[in-house]
Every structure is written in C-alpha cells, then in structure tokens.
Structure 1
Amino acid sequence: MASLLARLGRTAFRRRRLVLSLWLAVLAAAIACLTAFGSGLDDEFSIPGSESQRALDTMAEEFPAAAGTSAQLVFTAPEGKKVTDAPYAAVVTRTLAEVGRAPQVAAVVDPAAAGTVSADGRTALAQAQYEADRSALRSDALPALEKAADRASEDGLEVTVGGNAYGSGGVSVSAKEAVGAVVALVVLALTFGSLLAAGMPLLSALVGVAVGLCGLLAVTGAVGISSTAVTLALMLGLAVGIDYALFILSRHRSQLADGMDPEESAARANGTSGSAVVFAGLTVVIALAGLAVVRIPFLTVMGLSAAATVLVAVLVAVTLLPALLGFAGTRLAPRPGSRAARRANEAESAPTWGERWVRTATRRPLLTVLATVAALAAVAVPAKDLRLALPDNGSAPSGSSQRQTYDTVSDAFGPGFNGPLLVLAQPSGHDAAAPRGREAAARIAAELKQEPGVAAVSPPRPAKGSADAIIQVVPETGPDDEATKDLVHRLRDRAPELHDRTGAAVSVTGSTAVGVDVSDRLGDSLLPFAAVVVGLCLLLLLLVFRSLVVPVKATFGFLLSVAASFGAVAAVFQWGWLADQLGVARTGPVVSFLPIVLMAVLFGLAMDYEVFLVSSVREEYTRTGRARDAVRLGARHAARVVTAAALIMFAVFASFVSMDDAIVKPIAFALAFGVLIDAFVIRMTFVPAVLALVGDGAWWLPRWLERVLPHVDIEGEKPAPGPAAAGDVPEPEPARG
C-alpha cells in the first residue's frame, strides 16, 4: 500500500492542476445532482416488521385519517374564564372549521366530542389528523395550522400548536457550529506555526465535506435520510478530514525541514502517513457500516451516510492534499531557526510536553494504571441510570410552540395525553361481521379501562369497510416514561387473552409504541454490536502490531472510554449536572441509538490514535531494544500531532453541543467527551503506562501465531521495490508525526 500511495502522491503533486480540476468537477456534479434529484429529509423512525409498524400499515389502508401524523391545538381561556363560554366557544368552533380546510388535514377532533376539556374549563385540546406522515407533509400544511391559531389568539384565547407533526423540525446548522472550524484553525496554526500550513487541512476537509454532503442530499429523493444522519456526517467528515490532512502534512513539513525535495517529501508522506490515514479511515468506515447489523433501516442509513462521508475524506487526503502541497512548494518548509524548525530537528529540541507527560506517567506505571482505571470507573458510575428512548416534544427548546403545548397538555390533562396509544382491534371468523365486530371492540375497550396505568380510553372508532376498530388508550405517564413502556408490553402480553375472550386480534401502535419498539430493538442489538466492535478491535491490532498485549490493552482502554462517556451523558442529561450551562431543555432519557453510534464512531477514532502512537513506540523499540525509552521517545514523536488531532476533534464535536436538537446534542456531547478521554487519559496516559509496565513482553507473540498471521504494513515501514523515480518510498523511516 505504501508504494501505491507514494506513486499516487507524486502524481497528484506533479499534476496538481488536473487533480484540483477533477475535484472541483466532482463537487459541481454533486451540486447539480442535488439540485436535480434532491428531496426533503425524512425524520420518521420505524422498524419494518414490528407489531407497531404492521398495525400502522393496516391502519393506512382502513383508517387513512388515523394513519398519518397529527397535530395538537391547545386553547386556553383567560384567568377566570372558560373555553366553553359563548364567545370563546365560537372562536374554537370557527378555528377548527378553518383547520379542517387546511392542506392534507383528513379529520379534526373537537374537544367537546372527545371530552378533552380540562376540569376547570380553562383549557381545551383539539387534534388535527393529517393524511400523510410528517415527512410527506406539504410545505404549507403546518403554516396553515399556525395561521388559524394566530387568528384565534387575536380573539382573546391563548392558542399553541404541537403534537407529532412537530416532533422534529429537522436539524439546522448555524454560525455557532462554525466555531469548531475556527478553533481547529487556531490549533493548526499553533501546531505548525504557519497560517499557510494551517489552512491546508481545513481547505481539504471543507472540500471533502461539501462533496460528501451534496452527494448525500442528492439521493434523498430515492432513500429516506434523516437530518440527524446529515448532521452526523457533517461532524465526522469535518473532524476526520482535518485530522487526516494533519497527519500527512505534519510528516511533509518534518521532511521539508530536513532538506528533502518537496515532490519527494509529498510522495513519501503520502506513502507513510497516508497509509495510516487509509487504515484509520477504513476502520471508521467499517465500524459505521457495521450499524447495519442492528437491522433498523434509519440507523443503517445513518451509518452508511457517515461512512460515505469519511471515505470521501480519506480520498481527499491522499489525492487533493498532495496536489495542494504541490501548489505550496517550498513555502511550507519551516523557516530556519523558527520554533517549527527546532521541533522538526528532534536532536536539538528540548523535551516536548508529550515526552514529559509520558515520563511522569511511566515513572510508576502500576500506580498510573490503577489510578486511571479507578478514575474512569468513577466517571462511569452514572451510566447505571442511563435510560434510552426516542425524544418527544418535552425535549424541545423551552420557548418553542411544541414545548409550550406539551407542557400545557401535561399540566391540564396529564402527561399521557402527549403520547396516547392506538389499539387496533381486528375481529376474525364469524365475529368479523359489523355488529359482532363493534361488540368485540367495545368489550376490548372496557377491558383496557381496567388496566393499571391507563388514564382514559376513547370509544372505538370502526372502519368504513370492515369491522376493524381503533381504540385510543391514554397512559397515566408520559411517552418516554418507563411505566408507559411497561404498559405497552402488558397490553401486548394480554393480546392472546383478549383474542380468546372477544374473538378479535389486538395490536398496540402509535408514535409512543413505535418508540418503544425502536428502543427495544436497539437494546437487544447493543451487546451483539459491542461484541463485533471488540472482536474487530482485537483482530485489527493483532494484525498491525503482531502482539497480544497491545490489542488487549487497547480494547480494554476503548471500553473504559465508552463507559466513561456513558456515565458523563447520564450525569448531564439525566442527573442534570451542568444541564443549564449546556442548554439541556429537559433532563430524562437520551436518544435510544446514542450508545451504538458512540461505540461505532469512538472505535474508529480510538484505533486512529492507537495506531499513530503505538507505531511510533514500536519503531523506537525496534531501533533501541529498550522498552521504557521506546515509550518515552515514541510519545515524543507522536504526542504533538495526537494532541492537535484530539483537540480539533473535540472542538468540532463540542460546537454541535450548542444545537437545541434533542438527538444531536447528547450525541455530540458524548463524542466530544469520549475523544478527550480516549486521547488524553487512555492513549497518552494509560497506554504508555501499560507498555512500560509490561516491558519487552508488550511485543511478544507466540511463534505459531506469528507464522499464521499475515503481515500488514500501515506506516510504510518496509522498503518499497523499485527506484525512487518510479514514485516508491526509497528508504524506511521511523513512523512519527
């Protein structure tokens, strides 16, 4: 691989104008495809084949007015008045008539008919049922509802709108998220001591992100892609794009400082550090594509979307970046006598921060290992309380209309009215006749009223063309409450009994039941997915380093990072620590696919830092044969680049924590925290301490395993065949930053 990448780097350096033109053409083609074929994003969560989805599919045929999404209108009269008073009742009636004429509204549920007027008479809850899912609503559907509510507000009533139709307005990227890129530029400038060098990784990363996102959005007309998937792809594409370019550029500048010709240096940097970039990128891609094993379509699309963006970042790093190096030429070489030049000449430079840190960590390695494990175990303690669910409008920003509606409904009617369950009753056999079917549905409704945890049950609504009926069941607890989840499971467990007694099959569905099914599937898949990730981690590092200690130690460190990240998420988003400072709208369960996404992403990034650091240690051990000195000198080579890469990753992820979205915020926080822990506590502290503690045993491998394992060269350590003029790497060089 080293020889191939070196030839690729040399070709891109020489034909830099052609390479740049090709990438600009690819970007233009992606933009054109986006304009021609792009469609809206799909933020619906579903699991094909689940009970809730099967029932929804049936309802779409027999109850079109109940199968789509719905919106809530909450009318509140002034203090001391009632919505049933004549003037306010007339406003409600006129408003609901106007809502009924709004685009795609299939039915309107009047509060008087549904019995959704509060006990004090001040608040009434109406519902607009749409004929389409949230993702299929026209652009003017919800604005028409809001205009009707505004006119009612002018007549003396306080009116807010919310409900499932407002469940997720999508993720919008603002100028606040650009702070991460600005911080990355500052870190790069401090690392390289040159604005020209600092701008190159950022420029190449932006090109890669633009190509990746435009290509991703271009296929939204054929594939349902959520706004969360786009945001995750943006975060990862920007972070890894900058980091991968940083690794290659750092090697290039070091070689220029040693007097190497720019073309030869670009080729060698692409063959050595570029090989590590390809390995690290493919690791991230494999981990993200592994989300498909969960067998949840929206999560599979999310993983593949992010993986595609990372793959584009790798291609940009090994092709476009060498071309940019060609445009810069010798201007990237550190000025003689500058700090950057002294850093490049390690024989003359003073001990680096990384070397001093590692020297301290390895002075008493056993104490360091025990202290690190104890500290991360303490941080992980809150993870025992981690609860998972799909977010609802209770997690929306405090000032939003859907959050006001959610809170008003909870206060006036109870939290269960924000997430009612839909029970589909389907009589079979001789009971399928209309009279017998209605009788069976009525008996089921009577049984459901007696179920603990049920606040209210609506009269059955029969279908026009069959004896099937829908029964709305309102829980006593909110949609994301554990008691509501238990209620869904109890009702499903009672379905065989109800069938025997009434002759009707019973299915539980609705948005709340869909959320329960998604969380259950994710919970069942977490351990198998973790086993795949851990197994992959052990196998890859065993192949790369041909050691037993290194993969075991790296895997254990990765699990510590994941556990600590889970603990931090639970402490902030459930216990409420720093919740106000981070803008958390409401403490409670976090999005149910966070653990799997965190494990997939953090695995790839952890392997990136592990390979970069430990390969430097192994090079020094091969050269000197002294284990303790190899750890110190290896950290000297790699610490600055690993530190810069981790800080850039942290800055990019942390900038997305400012978003109000209840899905993106905890994921971004978990990734930012996980990167900090993994880079500085695990890779820069725990790993050197373990290597120093084990000594020469860190590089031991049984002979029989040595013979079986194939050789994998990811840093271009082996001499490549053929002359340098052909573009190969002429001499092996210690892997370093």
Structure 2
Amino acid sequence: MATLLYRLAHWSVRNSKKVIIGGVGILLALAVLALAMGPAFSDDLSMPGLKSQNAIEVLNKEFANPQGDGGKTRMVIKAPDQETLSSETAQAVIQKSLKEIAEDTQVKSVVGPYENHSLSANKTIAYIDVTYKTPAGEVTDESREHITDVADAMRFSGWKAELSGEAFVQMKILGPSEVIGVLIAFVVLAITFSSFLLGVLPIATAAVGLGVGLLGMMIGSNIVDIQSVALSLAAMLGLAVGIDYALFIVSRFRQQLAEGYERSESIAIANATAGSSVVFAAITVIIGLAGLSVVQIPFLTAMGLSGAFVVFVTMLTSIIMIPAVLAAFGERISASSGNRWLKPRKRANHESNRWGRFVTRKPLIMVIAGVILLGTIALPFLHIELGLPDDGQKPTEKTERRAYDLLAEGYGPGFHSPLVVLARADGEGNFLENVSNVAKEMGTLPNVGSMSPAIPGPSGKLALINIIPATGPHDVKTKELVQSIRDQAPEILKKNHVELMVTGTSAVNIDISQKLNEALPKFCLVIVGLALVLLMVVFRSLLVPLKAVLGFILSLAATLGFSVFVIQDGHMGSMFGFYGTGTVLNFMPIIVVGILFGLAMDYEVFLVSRMREEYKKTGDAKKAVLAGMGHSGSVVTAAGLIMISVFTGFMLAEDPIIKSMGFALAFGILFDAFVVRMIIVPATMTLMGKSAWYLPKWLDRILPNLDIEGEAVMEKLKHPDSGVEKKESLQFSSKPNFE
C-alpha cells in the first residue's frame, strides 16, 4: 500500500494543476447536477415489521385521512388573564384569527377550537389545526411567516399564541452553528502549524471532499431513500475526518522536510507513511458505518452507507489532492516555520517528550486512574432509557417549546404521549358490545388518564380507541402502560373475541428502541471482531488489538454514561443546550458505536504505528512508546481538538437529533483521544513491554503485510551500499525507481 501511495503522490506532484482543477471541476459539475435534480431526502424513521407499525398500516386502510398528506401546523392559544375562550370577546378574536390564517392561498383547511372541541377543562387553552395543500417539507417560508404574523397579532392583544407541527418546525440540516466548529478547527490548525496558510489548507481540501460527497448524496436521494438526518451526520463526520486526515499528512510532510528530504520526495514519503495510516483509518470508519446494515433497519442502513460514502470520498481527496496542493504552494510551505510541537525530536531516545515521560514513569497508576475515571463516568449508562427527542427539550425562547408547555398545562403531560388502540373482531358475537367491554377493562389499568369512546370503522370489524396516559412520553409509566395493554391482549382475545393492537407516537418509539436494543449486541460483535482482525494485521501483534478494543469499549461506555447523565437525568443540561429532561435518542448508541469505533481506531493507528516503527528499529519497547508519543502525540492531540470542535458546532444546532449526536461524538472523542489514547494506551504499552509485539511465527506468515508505516518505501530510499538515506541528493523523476 505504501509503495502505491508513494507513486500516487509523485503523480499528483507532477500534475498538481490538473489535479486541483479536476477536483474543483468535479465539485462544480456535481453542484450543477444536484441543483438541477434537487434534493429528495426522506424524514421517514420507521421500521417495517414492528407491532406498532403494522397497526398503523391497518389503521390507514380502515380510516382514511380526509386531509390527505398535507403538512400540518398547530397554533396553541391561551386566553388573557381573567378571561375564558367561551366569552364573546374571545370568540370574536379567534374567528378573526381563523379568517386571517385562511387568507394564505396555500392553506387547505383551518379547524378552530370550537370545531375540534379542544377547549381545556378550565376553558383557557385550546388549539387551531391548520392543514396545507402541500406536504410539510414543501410548505414555503412565506406560509410560515404568514401564520407567525397572525400569532404575533394575538400576542399583541394579550393572548398567548404559540406554533408547532411538522409544517412549521423545519429541520435545519446545516446552519450557522456548524461554522463555529470550523472556525475553532482553523484556530487549532493555525496554532499547530504556526501558519495561516497551513491552517487553511486542511479545511480547504476537506471542504472539496465533503462537497463532492454531500452533493453525491443529494443526487442519490433521488434514486434511493436517504433520510435528511443522514446528510447532517455525513457532513459532521466528513468534515471532521477530512481535516484530520489532512493534518496527519501535512505534519508528516513537515517532518520529512525538517529531516532534509527534497520537497517532492517529502510529499511522496508523507503520502506513503501518513497516507497509508489515513487509508487504513478511513477503512475502519467505513467498516463501522457500513456495518450498520447488519442490523437490517432501513434508515440506519441508509445513514451508514451514505456516511461511509462521504468518508471514502474524503479519503480519496486527502491522498490525491493534498500532495498536489503541497506541490502547488511550493516554497510557501517550509519546515522551519512550523510549531515546535510538530518538529522531529533531536534526541534519538525521544526523552524530551515530557508527557510521554510522565505517563510511562508510573504506568500502572496511570492505567488505574484512567479506568476509574471513565468507569465512574459510565455508571449512569446502567439506567439508560431510549426514545426520540421532542419539543420539550428545546429552549423556552422557541415558540414550539412554549406550545409544548401550553398543551401540557391545558391537557396534562400525557397529551404528548397518546396511544391508539385498534380493536379488531376475531370471532362471533356483537362486536361493538365486545369492544365496549374491552374498553372498560383497559380503563381500569394504572396510568390511564382519559379514554375516548370506541370509534367503529367503515368495515364494522374494526374500532379505534384513543387513550391519553397520565404521564408524559419520557416517563417509564407510559412504557409500562403500553406493555400492560399488550400483556392483556391474549386474554382479551380469548374472552371477548377482540384482537388488540397498540400504536401511536409513544408505542412506535418504544418498539423502535426495543428493536435497536436487540440489534446493538450483534452489531458490536461484528465491529469488535473486524477490529481485532484488522489491527492484528496492521500491528503484527496479539495484545495490541485486544488493548485497542478494550479501550474503545471503555470510551464508548463513558460516552453513553455521560449522555444519560446530561440528557436523560438533566444534570448540566442547559450548559449543553438541553433544556428539559428526556430519553436518550434511540438510535444514538448504535450510531455512536459505528462512528466512535472508526475514529478511535484512527487515533490508535496514528499513535501506535509510530511506536511499532521505532520498536522495529531499536527493539526497545519503552523507547518505542516515547517515540510514538513524541512523533504523533501532539498531532493526535490537535486532531482530537479539531474533531471536538467540529462536533461541538453540530451540538449547537437547533434540531435535538443533530444536537444529541454532536454532543455524544464530541465527548466520545474527548474521552477516547485524551484519556484512552494519550494516557491508558502508552501506559499499557509500557506495562506490556516487548510482549506487546508478540505474534506467533505461523500466524505472522499467514497474515498479509499492509505496511502502513511505509517500511518498504523507506528501505528502498536508502543507499544499497552505505545504508545512508537519500535526501537532497535524491532527485524527483517521472517514474520513481525502487529497484
């Protein structure tokens, strides 16, 4: 692999202008095509085969939706103090508002509180339902501004009027908050390289690769189902790894220049060594993401494969465009102007590396301290509850959050967790009488807040019963109510000849979470198994892969534990933009496993490959650890800071799904890069000594040699007689000769 990347770099150097123009040209061509086709992303996060999903299909067949597929907005209103909605004055204000809403030509229907019977018990709170002629995703900004103006007019009159609903609350795939992460990444790069130019270069090349990948996803969304949240996930990941990959290659290039190699040769060596690590690191991320297809959940498969595609494109951009850009900038990039962190150590034993010396001085204490720290952070994971975030976790400055609170005030917290029970005839007898008996039995169950009379369907063999629990969507008692109805269903079927099916938002979330919980162990086994094999091939060791996987499991547990502590338990929530307690995003654990696995192996490869390179030269295990920390420790630190910066930008997003994933990944990198890789890994490697590099000879012969350290290239760059490395004397040729 290293030899191929060495030759590829020389080709990119020779054709630097063509490579740069070609990369930008591909980006522009895809942009034109994507704009012509338009995006067609889906918001469907359903899973076929779930009990609640099957019930929805039965429901849709029996009870047709008279409003069709039009997007819906709900305006929640509350009368001024000392007034009720039944007064003539209030009715006049409401009728005026209904007429103003209907003036929007895109509105299909407006149903007021007196028609939908939504007056609260004290007649102070109600809601207006607005249906548009187009689906929610196609409702225009003008329509949203129009209904916002109506709400503002009511507020001006002393009313409370807040808006929610899929047509009003639009998911922002990419927003200004993400730019903050990029700016922080630029600052880290500029400080690391002590160069404005080198601070921009990794971001620019990452932007090209990310642009090509995201535009490819937009075009692909017209062919296959890709969820809109997948675009945000891919953008988050592609930007972070793209900047990191450029950082690793450029920093190695600077080191080769400092050692006296000619410029084009330094570029080629950097691509052969750091570039090999980049390719392998990208492969681990791609495996982690593509592995999501193992769980056989359509939207997760689409998210994983689209994310893997963006990472693949970013990796290709790194190993092809970065050598060309480094060649094009010529003398503007030198070794002398760089930050001292990235300069090669003068001492052969690398004992000037203070952090490495500190960690390896008392390795057992460092390992124990790191494990105790992450283990303590991981403890809340033991009571994790999964679900989907809602408007109740948004800041009170948002109108949808205020609408959420008004609905809970007027109708109780259970209004946000409605259950729909379908009763289907199964046998002889009076169906409506049987359903009435069933409804009475369900009414005696704990936590039932209210229940509507059974609504018979057109076929006469199906009835619908709406149940409002006494507790909210994130309360364990709501989940227990769903389970209680399902547990009694067999007995009810036997006694009353009525089959019960439970659906509704809460039931769907419960089923999805259960399905994901069942899929997670299988997915983890596949990921861990592949990691052990790949790392064994790379490091030619039995213990190093095992240590790497155990470290990943530790950082993963800490990540999920801290997510529970903040998001679910509500500690420090407002500090990170979570303004209400709730469940952890149900597909976040499996997404975090896939992504964090790849990124953790990135840092493992970049750090430990330099240790192995030094160990093969000296045979001194402790010196190898110090060399790895000296060469790659500061680069891994900078890479970790960049990753955290990018993910923090997404953590600041408004959408709670994107916010949750950004939060988990930011802290996942914090725990893995700075605790596991920079403390536990070097300390453990010191404790293991030479045994860390043990591999049976028979296994060594079987395993292929990927040579990610570029040993073959470096050996062939040595003079065959004296063994002195070719540096300034090695001239660039159009066809590098390794013979």
Q: Fold conserved (TM > 0.5)?
A: yes
Pair 1:568 & 2:559 matched: no
Q: Measure, in 2, the Cα distance between the counterparts of 1:45 and 1:503.
A: 33
Pair 1:347 & 2:346 matched: yes
Change (3 A) 1:104 1:50: farther
Pair 1:287 & 2:285 matched: no
2:696 to 690, 702, 726: 702
Q: Measure, in 2, the Cα distance between the counterparts of 1:401 and 1:695.
A: 60
SS where residue 345 of structure 2 aligns?
A: coil
Pair 1:650 & 2:644 matched: yes
Asked if structure 1 preserves the Cα contact closer than 8 Å seen for 2:394 and 2:578, the reply is no
Asked if structure 2 preserves the Cα contact closer than 8 Å seen for 1:480 and 1:589, the reply is yes
The correspondence of residues 538-687 of structure 1 with structure 2, limited to 5 A, is: 538-687=532-681
Q: Measure, in 1, the Cα distance between the counterparts of 2:221 and 2:667.
A: 31
Please list the CA deviations of residues 37-67 of structure 1 after superposition, one character each: whole Å capped at 9, or x if unmatched: 2235433321112122222223333323278
Q: Measure, in 2, the Cα distance between the counterparts of 1:401 and 1:351.
A: 58
Asked if structure 2 preserves the Cα contact closer than 8 Å seen for 1:719 and 1:729, the reply is no
* Paired residue type of 1:160: E
Q: CA deviation at 1:586?
A: 1.1
Please list the CA deviations of residues 209-242 of structure 1 after superposition, one character each: whole Å capped at 9, or x if unmatched: 1112222223333444333222211111111101
Asked if structure 2 preserves the Cα contact closer than 8 Å seen for 1:382 and 1:568, the reply is yes
Asked if structure 1 preserves the Cα contact closer than 8 Å seen for 2:205 and 2:318, the reply is yes
1:160 to 141, 159, 162: 162
Change (3 A) 1:126 1:542: same
Asked if structure 1 preserves the Cα contact closer than 8 Å seen for 2:378 and 2:562, the reply is yes
Pair 1:13 & 2:13 matched: yes
Please list the CA deviations of residues 94-118 of structure 1 after superposition, one character each: whole Å capped at 9, or x if unmatched: 6568778978888877655765432
2:416 to 415, 418, 431: 418
Pair 1:120 & 2:118 matched: no
Q: Measure, in 2, the Cα distance between the counterparts of 1:352 and 1:439.
A: 85
Change (3 A) 1:690 1:536: same
* Paired residue type of 1:347: K
Q: CA deviation at 1:441?
A: 4.1
SS where residue 490 of structure 2 aligns?
A: helix
Asked if structure 1 preserves the Cα contact closer than 8 Å seen for 2:193 and 2:342, the reply is no
Q: CA deviation at 1:203?
A: 0.9
Asked if structure 2 preserves the Cα contact closer than 8 Å seen for 1:65 and 1:106, the reply is no
SS where residue 407 of structure 1 aligns?
A: helix
The corresponding residue for 2:518 is 524
* Paired residue type of 1:74: V
Please list the CA deviations of residues 655-679 of structure 1 after superposition, one character each: whole Å capped at 9, or x if unmatched: 2222232112222122111212211
Aligned length: 723
- Alignment TM-score, normalising by the size of structure 1: 0.90
Q: CA deviation at 1:501?
A: 3.8
Change (3 A) 1:161 1:500: farther
Q: Measure, in 1, the Cα distance between the counterparts of 2:82 and 2:40.
A: 45
Q: Measure, in 2, the Cα distance between the counterparts of 1:453 and 1:113.
A: 29
The corresponding residue for 2:379 is 381
Pair 1:403 & 2:401 matched: yes
Name stretches of at least 5 consecutive residues in structure 2 with no aligned partner.
Answer: 718-731
Q: Measure, in 2, the Cα distance between the counterparts of 1:343 and 1:664.
A: 34
The corresponding residue for 1:55 is 55
SS where residue 609 of structure 1 aligns?
A: helix
Q: CA deviation at 1:580?
A: 2.5
The corresponding residue for 1:537 is 531
Which moves more between the two structures, 655-664 or 269-278? 655-664
SS where residue 241 of structure 2 aligns?
A: helix
* Paired residue type of 1:260: Y
Q: CA deviation at 1:147?
A: 5.8
Asked if structure 2 preserves the Cα contact closer than 8 Å seen for 1:499 and 1:506, the reply is yes
* Paired residue type of 1:629: K
Q: CA deviation at 1:730?
A: 4.5
* Paired residue type of 2:228: S
Please list the CA deviations of residues 446-478 of structure 1 after superposition, one character each: whole Å capped at 9, or x if unmatched: 333222211111123333455433221111111
Q: Measure, in 2, the Cα distance between the counterparts of 1:110 and 1:331.
A: 68
SS where residue 455 of structure 1 aligns?
A: strand
The corresponding residue for 2:425 is 427
Q: Measure, in 2, the Cα distance between the counterparts of 1:70 and 1:470.
A: 22
Identity %: 41
SS where residue 42 of structure 2 aligns?
A: coil
Q: CA deviation at 1:207?
A: 0.9
The correspondence of residues 151-550 of structure 1 with structure 2, limited to 5 A, is: 157-163=159-165, 169-335=170-336, 338=337, 340=339, 344-347=343-346, 355-428=353-426, 436-464=430-458, 467-550=461-544
Change (3 A) 1:183 1:633: same
Asked if structure 2 preserves the Cα contact closer than 8 Å seen for 1:281 and 1:310, the reply is yes
Q: Measure, in 1, the Cα distance between the counterparts of 2:479 and 2:422.
A: 18
Asked if structure 1 preserves the Cα contact closer than 8 Å seen for 2:342 and 2:634, the reply is no
Change (3 A) 1:422 1:662: same
Which moves more between the two structures, 186-195 or 125-134? 125-134
Change (3 A) 1:95 1:190: closer
Asked if structure 2 preserves the Cα contact closer than 8 Å seen for 1:103 and 1:140, the reply is no
Q: CA deviation at 1:398?
A: 1.5
The corresponding residue for 1:735 is none
Q: Measure, in 2, the Cα distance between the counterparts of 1:614 and 1:144.
A: 59
Q: CA deviation at 1:397?
A: 2.9
- Alignment TM-score, normalising by the size of structure 2: 0.90
* Paired residue type of 2:346: A
Q: CA deviation at 1:271?
A: 1.8
Asked if structure 1 preserves the Cα contact closer than 8 Å seen for 2:341 and 2:634, the reply is no
Q: CA deviation at 1:554?
A: 0.8
* Paired residue type of 2:247: L
Which moves more between the two structures, 71-80 or 626-635? 71-80
Please list the CA deviations of residues 522-555 of structure 1 after superposition, one character each: whole Å capped at 9, or x if unmatched: 1111222222222222111111112111011111
Asked if structure 2 preserves the Cα contact closer than 8 Å seen for 1:267 and 1:727, the reply is no
Q: CA deviation at 1:698?
A: 0.8
Which moves more between the two structures, 566-575 or 131-140? 131-140
Q: Measure, in 2, the Cα distance between the counterparts of 1:459 and 1:109.
A: 22
SS where residue 44 of structure 1 aligns?
A: coil
SS where residue 362 of structure 1 aligns?
A: helix
Change (3 A) 1:71 1:659: same
Change (3 A) 1:145 1:80: same
User: Considering only aligned residues, what root-mean-square deviation do their CA atoms show, in Å?
Assistant: 3.0
* Paired residue type of 1:39: P
The corresponding residue for 2:723 is none
Q: Measure, in 2, the Cα distance between the counterparts of 1:460 and 1:144.
A: 38
Q: CA deviation at 1:490?
A: 1.9
Asked if structure 1 preserves the Cα contact closer than 8 Å seen for 2:3 and 2:712, the reply is no
Which moves more between the two structures, 414-423 or 652-661? 652-661
SS where residue 423 of structure 2 aligns?
A: strand
Asked if structure 1 preserves the Cα contact closer than 8 Å seen for 2:281 and 2:602, the reply is yes
Q: Measure, in 1, the Cα distance between the counterparts of 2:715 and 2:559.
A: 45
The corresponding residue for 1:34 is 34
Q: Measure, in 2, the Cα distance between the counterparts of 1:621 and 1:232.
A: 38
Asked if structure 2 preserves the Cα contact closer than 8 Å seen for 1:421 and 1:511, the reply is yes
Asked if structure 2 preserves the Cα contact closer than 8 Å seen for 1:639 and 1:684, the reply is yes
SS where residue 34 of structure 2 aligns?
A: helix
Change (3 A) 1:377 1:312: same
Please list the CA deviations of residues 168-199 of structure 1 after superposition, one character each: whole Å capped at 9, or x if unmatched: 52125333322222222222222222222222
* Paired residue type of 1:594: M
